[in-house]
Structure formats: C-alpha cells, structure tokens
Chains A and B, each alone.
Chain A
Amino acid sequence: MASASVSGVPLLEGALVEGRWPEWFVASRQRGWADFQHLPAPAPKDEKWRFSKVKALALDSFRYPAAVADAAALVARSTGLGESAARFVFANNRLLAATAPAAGLLKAGLVVMTLEEAARQHADLVEKHFMAQEFKLGSAKYAALHRSGPVNGVFIRVPKNLEVAQPIEIFHWVEGENSAVFPHTLVVCERQSKATVVDCFRSADDEPAFACGVNDLVVEEGAKLNYVAVQQWSLAATAFHLNSTTVGRDACCLGMQVNLGGKFVRGESYSRMVAEGARSDMLSVNIAGGDQLIDQRTFQDHAKPSATSDLLYQNALTGKGRTVFSGVIRVEPGAHKTDAYQKVRNIVLSDEAEANSMPGLEIEADDVRCTHGATTAQVDDRELFYLLARGIRPEAAQQLLVMGFFNTVLDRLPDARLRGQIEGLVEKRLSAALRG
C-alpha cells in the first residue's frame, strides 16, 4: 500500500507493513500521508506558532524503531496505580502486555482493546470517531503525520450506564536513540457511563526521541470521563500531544495534561461542547526546566447554549525553561448562557525562564459570562520567609510553595489515589528541576 510512497522517510519506513488493518484504515493512512506532504510546515511568523520554536521541528533524524530489547523489564517498570480496571503496555509502537478487564466488566459490555483490533472488530465506532475533528490549533500537519503513521494504542468503549470504578491505565514507552512513536487513545463514553483513563508516556532512556500522539475523547449524554495524560518523555525528546474532546448533553469531561519531560513539547487541546449542559474541565500542570519548551494551545468551543468550560493551566519554570500558553474561548452565535473561564498562572523560579501567555476570547453571543486571566510572578518572599523562620531549608520551602501552587490544579482530580500518584511524580520532577 502506502509503503511505496513513504520510502525514504525514515520516520515511517518499515512501519506500515506491520499489523492487520482494514481497508478503510489504510485509505485514511494514505489520506494522512498526502495531507502531511502538502500541508506547509509552521513558519516563525505563523500566529499559531507565536513564541514557539519552529526550528525545533526538524524530524529528519527520527526513525521508526525496532522492537525493544527487553520487553519484560519495561513491563515491570510500568508501575502505576496498583489496582486498575485494565492495563496496556506499549513500547516502540508495539504491544508488550495487556491485562484485560475483569469478566464482570467485559460482560457488561466494556471494551478495552488495541486500536488495531478495534479497527476490525468495532470498525463503525472507530471509523466514526478516529480523528473525526479537524485539528485547527496549528498542528494539522503533525496530526496528518500521526494519521499516516504506525499508530498504536487503545480503544475504549464504556457502554451505556456502566460505571467503571478503577482507572484504565495505558503505558507508552519509547526506547533507543531517535525512535519515533505514535500513541493513540480513543475513548467513547456512552450515555450515563463513567470512567477514568490514564495515559502514561515514558522514555526507557535519556535519548532523543519523537512522539506524535493523539487522543480522541467522546463523552455522550450524561456521561462522565476523567482523562489524565502524564507525559514523562526524556528531556531530549520532541513531542506532540493533540487532543480532541466532544462533550454531549449534560455530560462532563475532565481532561488533565501533566507535562514533566520533553525538550520540545507541543500540546493542543480542543474541547467542543456540542449540546446544552455540557461541561469541560481542562487542566494542566507543567514543569519547564533546563532548556525545555512547553508550548500549549487550547480551544474551548461553545457550539450550543448553556454549556460550561473551565480551564486552569499552571506552569512552574526553572533554568532556561520556556512555556507558551495560547488559549481561545469561542462562543458561537446563539450559544447563550455560556459560562466559560480560562486561567493561566506562571510561577517563574529563575532569571532566564520565560513565560508567554496569550489568553483569548472570541464571543459572538451576548448573554454569556466569559472571563479569563493570566498571571506571572515568582514565589512570594513573605511566604518564603514564613517557612524559613520555622527552620525549613530554602530549597524545601520553595518546593513546598510550588507544590502548594500545583495542588490547586491537582485537587480537582476526583480520584484520591490517582491524585496522590501524580503528586508524587510532579514532586520528584520539581525537585530535580529546582536543583537544575
């Protein structure tokens, strides 16, 4: 198939012969490849790439990796919550291990399987929702690359009225110098269902790598989905994480992006409220240290009246770390009674760090309540003094204050165990970043 057209592209070469994919998927890949080729690369003057670093986007050195050497070791390192409803471990685009849901859940209709399997077994659902929304926040080219590439990941369908109590955990590992991975997570929460999904992105080593990930979240009427992505790629990695969320009537989606790794990370979160009563919580915790750049673009799209969206992104910057936040709240004509909020808070911990904030509003309906805010400051001297006066060492005091700052976001996670786990990871990265 498309393998002929991608020869000479190390990123994809040898990748597309693997797996058994249905015809429609192969066609979608070819479309993706054609789009990737004709879409222009981002230019420095491109408004959607303002403050970013398009020079960081040279993909020539990355290649499609071989399978990992020691699968068992990586599976053993895939520790997370202890108890989970299902657990999938991928490395270098290949499935290493899978723990299927308990029989009771399977009987109730819960589907958790690889995307490849689902493309055959649940072709209608996968075809309907797989990258169905346009990627308009600047990375359409890289979304096309993902579509054309050797995607692998998990498809989850939570059937009507089913509540899955334990989180579903997915691990994506990358191993080896310049390896490229294309993780994909597709979640469909049907009416009145409830689930929590956690994506963990990790590097097996400190090598440069490339990740181009997409997640599609579909939350139907009255359903509730918590989705958390914990990104811990190596500090030499280049990563795209593109999200697209659709929230239906009276449904609720809480999405949280935690970015701890990566040298260049571009995150795009697009949340569309398609019916009345929809609610989208968009949360993010980011640590940019060393020479990391974390570039995030968000879009809260209010297509229908009486929906709510609430965005809170918080960044801590150390070293020469840089963050970019560009968010838009869009209220489409007629979407009255919209209640939308957007806030980005930056805490700058070093003289060379740089925080860029572009909170935006586009309002075309008059009966709305939309506000946004952006703040940038450093650790409050008085708060620091208070802790020092009580005998706490300066580094510990600073760490404590920044964790306090992050907790306003982490506290929004309803699952205490998950919250505790993420807090631990954030704390560990923060202490390393503060030490420089």
Chain B
Amino acid sequence: MNETQTQLDIDREKGNFRYNVDYEFDAGTGLNEKTIDYICDVKDEPDWIRKFRKDALKKFLEKPMPTHWASHDLENIIFDKIRYYLSQGGQKPKKTWDEVPEDVKRTFERLGIPEQERKFLAGVEAQFDSEAAYSNIKEAVGKQGVIFMGSTDALKEHPEIFRKWFGKVIPTGDNKFSALNSAAFSGGSFIYVPPGVKVTHPLQAYFRINAENFGQFERTLIIADEGAEVTYMEGCTAPKFDTATLHSAVVELVALRGAKIQYITVQNWSNNVFNLVTKRGLAMEDAEVKWIDCNIGSRLTMKYPGVVMKGRRARGEVISIALAGDGQHQDTGAKMVHAADETTSNIVSKSISVGTGRATYRGLVKIPSHLKGCKNNTECDALLINTSSRTDTYPAISVRGTGNACQHEASVSQVSSEQIFYMQQRGLTEAQAMSLSVNGFVNDLVRQFPMEYSVELKRLIDLEMEGSVG
C-alpha cells in the first residue's frame, strides 16, 4: 500500500509545485455581502450581476449540506477559512504569452500550455486562481464570429447573447454549490459559436489553483447556435497543500437546433481539493451534447454532468472515467432528463478503485409521461484493485408511460488472476500486466478523448497502477 502512495505522488509531480505570487486583489477569507461587493467593485460589474450574486448568497446560506445522501467529508469544508477572490490585477487577460506576468507564465510553461496551444488548439484560456491570465483565440476562428472570453467580460460586452442563458440551464438554487458559485463566480469561459460554424480544433481552458485555502469558482457558458459544432477541453491542476482547497464550478451548455457540443474534462487536482461541480447541458431539436469526463485527482469529487433533452431527437451522452486512489472519493455519474419525443441518451461509466480509494456512480434517468420513442442505455463497470478498495453504484431510473425503453447494467469485478498469470508467462512483470489489464478495461473510453489526452491518460494510469498489485 505504501508503494501505491508513493506512486500516486510521483504521478502528481507534474502539477505539484507553486510559485509565490503577489496578489494585488484579495477579498480575504469568508463569504458575505462585503466579499461580494469587493468582487463586484474589482471587476466593475453592472448592478444586475451584483444583485444576482447577493441573491445567490442568500440561497447558499439557506440550503443545507446534502449530507443526507452525500459523503460526510463535505462537513470538513470550512467556508469561513476559504479565500474567495485572488488576482494580480489587470482584470483583462493577456492576448500573448509575452505579456503574461513572469511568475504566472512560469507556471503555465511548466504545465506545457503554450506549447499545446501552438500544436493543436483553436483557442486557449488559462485561469490562475480567480482570473484568466491569458486568453487567445486563433485569428481564423475569431473571424468566423466565435466569441471566447471570461465570464464577467462576456456578460458586460455581449449581454444580448449571454444574459439570456446565464443561470438558465442551472438555476442558482439548483444545489448548495451552484448557489455558492453564483455568488462568488470569477473567470471561466463564455463561448458563442454562430449558426453553422464548425470549430475544427478544440478550444481549451486550463484552470490552475496556486494559493492555499483558496476557492476557485469559475463559470462557463457555451452556446452553440443552430447547426454549430464545438469541442471544449478543460484541464485542472493545483499544488498539494496540507489544508483543503475548494473548487466549485458551474458549467452550462446550450446546443440550439442541430448543434453539437463536446465537453472534455481531465481533472487532476491534487488530493486536498474538494471538487464540487455542477454541469448541465441543454439540447434542442436534433442537437447533441456529449460530456467526456475523466476524474483522476481531488480528495472528493462530486460531479454528475447532465443533459436536458428539450427538442425532438436530441441526444445526450456521458462518458465517464474515474480513478480513485488512496484516500480519494470519486463520486461521479450522470443525469439524463428526457423532455421531448425520440430523445436518446447513453451513459458509459468506468471506475477503478485502488488502495483505499472509493468510486461511486450516481445516476438519474428520467422519462416523463406522454413521451414516445425515448431510449436510454446505461452501463457502469467498476474495477476493484485492492482488498481495501470500495465501489458503490446508485442509479435512479424513473420512466412514465409506454413507448420508451430504458436499460441499465452494472458490474463489479477485479482483474482476473488468470489474465495476470497469462501475461506473466509471457515475460511481463506483475505491475506491467496489471497496467495492461486496467488500460484494457478503460481502453474503449480512453479512445474517445483527443489523441493528446488519451496518450496522457494512458501514461497516468500506467503510473497509478505501478506497485498497486496485491
């Protein structure tokens, strides 16, 4: 077990570093109306946003912790000790890496962001604590009318586009953490893709927490207008502190008629981070929303990406991979709400529990009455590596009326000793054999990630598995 621990740490080395940064703006610890006024003043926000935040704060304080069904680990979050806003000033993100302050740039260079941008991305935003340090979109993509900017800027500069959907897919009071985000949001990406525009390369955001006791609350809203297509990727890292860090994002996707949105997450927070994220997409007629979600890091992740299929023939999909190592709890899943005829949804979830890790699948599939021809397929498979590993599955499927079909299947198993033996016979070490087996288990899902990510994922899984046999 000790060996596993070591390996987990080695694996996280890539993100486990921090530089001392002087913050020009710091809202202090705790969240109250003053904190909100501070954030609004710094960001020079219009009054309606200030009101939106304050209403959200009320809802956040009113709502109880969802511990009647969720992990009691949530009680270890001390909201008064968290810092809700930190930035270096210059609330406008820089357009070239040369302008980015040296200490922040060092961070992203070490994570390889500028390099990736040159290679295969259509646009990049890099968020450092509360604000985006860098935001750039390739000229050709910008010329097509694609808007890609931070939350506050977007609401100020293009209210006609964004205000209509802001907070509509995920209402403030959806849950305690969506209310928290609505009160304290900063950063994130607001994207608009005009009708018929197909963004060929992915847009990417990179979220970085640098400060201790910090809460990151980015807000993302992606609107794909009729017939548009876009792929968005996000990655997250943080250094490992002894104290808890909170990341609570709200991500709203709107796919108008015939549009397609693909949202890819590779979450590799250090394992002191509480990652409590609300993600939901709205799919209109013939539209498709696909979440590809991979959770490797964090202490506790609670994330159930959802799709509300509002138009005929809309389609929702969630592909989820979770890896729970020692001391980690990956509480992930999916939510599919069918709200029109002939809508189809698919959920494929695979989780791996290593050491004392715990992976939980929680799902909701809802087909209300008087809908015809709706279909859902859910598969969730769990792999347990050690005797102390744990996995749970809690789906809820609610179907009304005839003419719809739902199927759910789940299995729990371990790597078979025959497989390991077979590979050892052919000269592989036990660890290599284990890695190969586990990679085989998630392979069909990993292949759905863009190449650069799938290579990285495979490497991560290799590392995680090393020394975990037995």
Interface of A toward B, CB cutoff 8 Å: 45-47, 50-51, 333-334, 336, 346, 348-378
Contacts and interface: CB of A to CB of B under 8 A. Distances in A.
Contacts of B31: none
B408 A373 contact: yes
Contacts of B397: 355-358, 374, 376
Nearest to A356: B398
Contact of B406 (A365, A372, A375): A375
B413 A369 contact: yes
A354 B399 contact: yes
Given A359-B408, A377-B405, A346 B414 contact: no
A321 to B, nearest CB: 11
B401 A368 contact: no
B186 to A, nearest CB: 32
A51 B370 CA distance: 19
Given A350-B402, A354-B369, A363 B408 contact: no
Closest 8 CB pairs of A and B: A366-B384, A361-B393, A378-B402, A351-B401, A376-B399, A374-B408, A354-B400, A370-B412
Nearest to B402: A378
A360 B401 contact: no
B386 interface: yes
Most buried by B among A50, A333, A349, A378: A378
Given A363-B390, A366-B387, A351 B402 contact: yes
A222 to B, nearest CB: 29
B384 A376 contact: no
B142 interface: no
A371 B409 contact: yes
Contacts of B398: 51, 354-357
B394 to A, nearest CB: 5
A51 B414 CA distance: 33
20 contacts: A50-B396, A333-B387, A333-B388, A351-B400, A351-B403, A353-B400, A356-B396, A358-B394, A360-B395, A363-B412, A366-B386, A367-B387, A369-B411, A371-B409, A372-B408, A373-B410, A374-B395, A375-B406, A376-B404, A377-B404
Nearest to A343: B409
Please classify the interface of chain B as helix (H, G, I), strand (E, B), loop, or mixed, using the class held by over half of its residues.
strand
A352 B390 contact: no
Given A357-B396, A360-B395, A373-B410, A366 B402 contact: no
B407 interface: yes
Most buried by B among A46, A366, A369, A378: A366
B344 to A, nearest CB: 14
B103 interface: no
A353 B398 CA distance: 11
Contacts of A349: 402
B414 A372 contact: no
B69 A47 contact: yes
Given A351-B401, A368-B414, 15 more contacts: A352-B401, A354-B401, A355-B397, A357-B408, A359-B408, A360-B394, A361-B391, A361-B393, A361-B412, A365-B384, A366-B387, A367-B414, A374-B395, A375-B407, A377-B406
Contact of B390 (A51, A364, A374): A364
A45 B395 CA distance: 17
Interface size class of B (residues with CB under 8 A): 35 or more
Contacts of B396: 50-51, 356-358
A149 to B, nearest CB: 29
Nearest to A331: B412
B337 interface: no
Contacts of A354: 369, 398-401
Contact of A350 (B386, B392, B394, B401): B401
Nearest to A358: B396
Nearest to B408: A374
B119 interface: no
Contacts of B405: 375-378
Interface string B360-385: 00000000011000000000001011
Contacts of A370: 411-412
Nearest to B400: A354
Nearest to B413: A369
Contacts of A350: 401-402
B68 interface: yes
B213 to A, nearest CB: 32
A353 B394 CA distance: 23
B409 A373 contact: yes
Most buried by A among B389, B392, B393, B411: B393
Contacts of A346: 399
Interface in B214-269: none
B68 to A, nearest CB: 6
A336 B69 CA distance: 27
Given A360-B394, A361-B392, A361-B410, A378 B400 contact: no
Given A358-B394, A377-B405, A371 B399 contact: no
Nearest to B388: A333
